[in-house]
Amino acid sequence: MKHWKEFLTGVSGNPLWSDIEGRQVAELKKYILSLYTLLAVNTCALSFTHYAVAPAWMTLGMPGALVALCALRAIHWWRLRAQDLPVTDAVRQFRATSLLTAVFSAAFVTWAIALGRFGGPFEQGHVAIFAAVTVVACIFCLPHLPVAAFLVTAIVMGVFLVDHLTSGNRIFVAIALNTAFVTAVMVRILADNFLTFTRLVEAQARAERLVNENARLAHTDSLTGLPNRRFFFQRLDGLLQDAAGTDAPFGLAILDLDRFKPINDTYGHTAGDRVLTEIGRRLAAFAGPDVTATRLGGDEFGLLIRSSRPEAEVITFCNCICEALRVPIRIGEAKVVAGCSCGLALYPSAGRTADALFDRADYALYHSKERLRGAATLFSREHEDAIRAELAVETALLSADLAAEMEVYYQPILDTATEAVALVEGLARWTSPTLGRVPPDHFIAAAERSGIIHTVTILLLRKALADATRLPLEVGLSFNLSSHNLASSETVCAILAAVGESGLDPRRLTLELTETALMRDFQRAKEAIATLRALGIKIALDDFGTGYSSLGYVHRLPLDKIKIDRSFMADIESDLGRSVVVTILDLCQNLGLDCIAEGVETREQLAAARRHGCRYAQGHLLGMPMPIGDLLFWLQGATAPGRGQLHA
C-alpha cells in the first residue's frame, strides 16, 4: 500500500528515496524520447489516413501543434543532465512531466476521437488502433514514472471506452472491452515492475552504504574517532600522486605524547583511554580540507598539512597544536598534562616518497624529544647530514670485529665518607678502523637500531667482569644496561650466565638503568630486576630527576642506588639546584637508598655534595675514564682529594 501511495503522490518518507529518484530520472530519460517519437509518428500516420476526409485544421494544424509540443519536450529531456539533478529538481521534473502527460493525453485522445467522426470503418478502426497503441506505448515507455503512465491510461482509456461503448456498434464495444482488459493486465505488470525496480534500487543503495560504512570503519580509529594509520598512508599516497610533476608542497607531521605512559601506569588504562580520546578531540578541531589528523597507534598521531604557506607558518601551526595538547586534562579529581613533541617533514625538500617523508618526520620527532620537548622540529639539512653519519656508524658497526675493536674504560666513584674509591663505572669505547673513535651515545644508539645491542652489551659486560676480578676486593663494578636489554629475557639470562662464569661476587656488581629502560615495558623490567637482585646484583637508577616519572619508579621498584643527574650538580650552588639535590638526598635517606652525585667537576661541588650528605660522588674532578691498566696504576697511588691530591 505504501508504494501505491508513492506512485500516486510522487513523495516518499523513505530515507533511500533520493537514490530511487536519481535512478528514476536516469532510466526515464532513456525511454521518454522514444515515447515522444512514437507519438509524433502515430499522429502523422493518423493525419495521413484522414487527410482526404477531414478538414485541414484537423489533419494539419492540430497534429502539427501536437508534434511540435512533443519535439520541445523531447529536446528538454535530451538536454537534461540526470546525474547532476538535485532531488528537489527531480521531484519537480516528475510532477511537471505527469501534469503535461495528462494534458497531452487529453489533447491527443480528444483530437483522435474527433477525427474518428470522419471517414469510413477503416479510418475509424485506425483511431481505435491509435488509442490502443498510445496506451501501450505510455505503459512501456513510462515504467519508471507510474503516476504519468496511470494518468495517460486513465484519460485515454476513459475517453476511448466511453466513446466506443456508447457507439452502438457491437464491434467497437468488443474492441473497447478487449483493449480495456489488455490495458488492465499491462497496468498490473507495470506496477509489479516498478515495485521490483524500487526494491532493487533500495537494496543497491543499502549495499553501497554498507560498503561505505565498512570502508569508513576500516579507516577509523575506534577509540578517538580519528582516521587511522591505514587512512593516513592512503591519504599520503594521494597527496604524492597529486604533487607529482608540480611539486605542490605539503607537510607530514608526527606527534608523540610526552607523558602518556606515566599517566597510563599511574592512573590505569581506562584513564589512558580518556586521555587519548581527549587528545583526539583536540586534534580533530585542527582538521579541515587542508589538514588531515589521524591516530597512527598507541600515543602517536599523524598530520598531513596541504599548504603553500612558508615553512615558518607551518611550524607555527604545529606548535599551536602542541600548545593545545599541553592543556591539562581532567581525570576524575586529578588533572594530568600529556603534552606532545612533534616532528615535521616537508615535501619535496625532505623526500619524495612516503617512506622517506615518514622516516624524516620521525627523525625530527626524535630530535624534538631529545632537545626541544613539547615543541615542533622541522627536518633540515643538518638532520640529513646526521642521518648519513648514523648510517655510516651502523654500516661500520655491522662489519666490525667487536671483540677486537671495543673496550671498556673505567671512571672511579668516590666514597665521600671514607675518601676511598668505592666502585668504578664501566664505560663502553669503540675505535673503528674506518671512522676512528666513535662517541658511545652514537654507537650504542646505532646498535639499538640495527638490533645488535644485546651482542654488544654481553660482550662489553664480559670484558668488564674480567677486568673487575683484577680490582681490589673493596672496589665494586658499575655497568650500564641499554633500554632494550631488560625487555629481552635472553639478554637477562646471558647477564646471569656471564656473572656466574666470571667468578666475580655478584654483590660487587651494580647494574645502572635509565628511566627509558623502565618505560619500554615496566612489568618486564620489574621482573628482570627481581631476577638480577635475587643473585645479589645491585640496581641503580641512572640520571634521576630528568624524567617525568622517576619518583613513580622509585617506590615501585626494588632499587639500591640513585644517581643524581649531572645537570643538578652543575647548579648545586644556586638556590634551586641546591633545593633539588637536597630533596633527592632526603628521598634516598627515607627509602634507605645510596645516592651517587654525577658530574662533580669542581672542589666546590664536591664540598657541597659532602656537606649535604651525599655518600658517593663521580666526575672528572675525581678521576677521568681510563683503561684497566691505567686504572690499576691510578688506584695504587690514589689518595682522597681532601688529602691534597686530585686526579683529573
Question: Sign (positive/negative) of CA torsion 158, 163, 169, 175?
Answer: negative
In a domain, 581, yes or no: no
234 and 352 both lie in a single domain: yes
In a domain, 222, yes or no: no
Query: What are the residues whose beta carbons fall under 8 Å from the beta carbon of 619, sequence distance 6 or more?
Result: 566, 569, 597, 598, 599, 600, 601, 605, 606
Q: End of a domain among 379, 411, 434?
A: 379
pLDDT (tens digit per residue) in 579-624: 888 888 888 888 888 999 998 998 988 888 888 888 899 999 999 9
Residue 214: strand, helix, or coil: helix
**Side chain identity at 508, as an amino acid letter?**
R
In a domain, 577, yes or no: no
Return the percentage of the chain with pLDDT > 90, whole number. 34
pLDDT (tens digit per residue) in 441-496: 889 989 988 889 999 999 999 999 999 999 999 999 999 998 788 878 888 999 99
In a domain, 590, yes or no: no
In a domain, 437, yes or no: yes
In a domain, 647, yes or no: no
C-alpha cell belonging to residue 203: 537494496
Question: Sign (positive/negative) of CA torsion 432, 436, 439, 445?
Answer: negative
What does the DSSP 8-state code read for residue 218? H
173 and 240 both lie in a single domain: no
pLDDT at 544: 77
Beta-strand relationship, 594-597 and 561-564: parallel
Distance CA 314, CA 136 (A): 68
180 and 234 both lie in a single domain: no
Residue bearing the bigger pLDDT, 525 or 135:
525
Question: Which residues pair with residue 306 across a beta bridge?
Answer: 250
178 and 272 both lie in a single domain: no
294 and 406 both lie in a single domain: no
C-beta separation of 486 from 524 below 8 A: yes
Best mean pLDDT range from 28-37, 191-200, 368-377, 450-459: 450-459
295 and 152 both lie in a single domain: no
C-alpha cell belonging to residue 322: 602542541
Instruction: Check whether 517 has a pLDDT greater than 60.
Output: yes
Give the DSSP letter string of 511-567: EEE-HHHHHH-HHHHHHHHHHHHHTT-EEEEEEETSSSSHHHHHTTS--SEEEE-HH
pLDDT at 470: 94
pLDDT (tens digit per residue) in 97-120: 778 877 877 888 888 888 878 878
pTM of the model: 0.56
Helices (runs of H) and strands (runs of E) counted in the chain: 25, 16
The C-alpha angle 509, 510, 511, rounded to 5 degrees, equals 120
276 and 357 both lie in a single domain: yes
C-beta separation of 310 from 257 below 8 A: no
Q: End of a domain among 321, 348, 379?
A: 379
Kindly state the average pLDDT of the residues 161-170: 75
pLDDT at 410: 97
At 4, the pLDDT band (50, 70, 90 cuts) reads very low
- HEC sequence for 39-68: HHHHHHHHHHHHCCCCCHHHHHHHHHHHHH
Residue bearing the bigger pLDDT, 18 or 439:
439
Q: End of a domain among 379, 402, 430?
A: 379
CATH classification of the domain holding 239: 3.30.70.270
Instruction: Check whether 21 has a pLDDT greater than 80.
Output: no
358 and 239 both lie in a single domain: yes
Residue 232: strand, helix, or coil: helix
Distances in Å between the Cα of 53 and the Cα atoms of 8, 142, 385 are 41, 34, 101
Best mean pLDDT range from 29-43, 200-214, 365-379, 424-438: 424-438
In a domain, 571, yes or no: no
Instruction: Indicate the number of domains in the chain.
Output: 3
108 and 10 both lie in a single domain: yes
Instruction: Check whether 343 has a pLDDT greater than 90.
Output: yes
In a domain, 572, yes or no: no
Distance CA 100, CA 105 (A): 8
At 14, the pLDDT band (50, 70, 90 cuts) reads very low
Distance CA 474, CA 493 (A): 27
Kindly state the average pLDDT of the residues 569-585: 80
Angle between helices 121-141 and 17-50 (to 10 degrees): 170
Instruction: Check whether 293 has a pLDDT greater than 90.
Output: yes
Instruction: Check whether 3 has a pLDDT greater than 50.
Output: no
Q: In terms of residue numbers, what domain contains 240?
A: 229-379
CATH classification of the domain holding 530: 3.20.20.450
Kindly state the average pLDDT of the residues 620-630: 93
95 and 146 both lie in a single domain: yes
Mean pLDDT for the chain? 83
173 and 321 both lie in a single domain: no
Beta-strand relationship, 406-415 and 538-544: unpaired
Kindly state the average pLDDT of the residues 311-338: 90
333 and 455 both lie in a single domain: no
In this structure, what are the phi and psi dihedrals at residue 341, rounded to the nearest 5 degrees? Answer: -115, 155
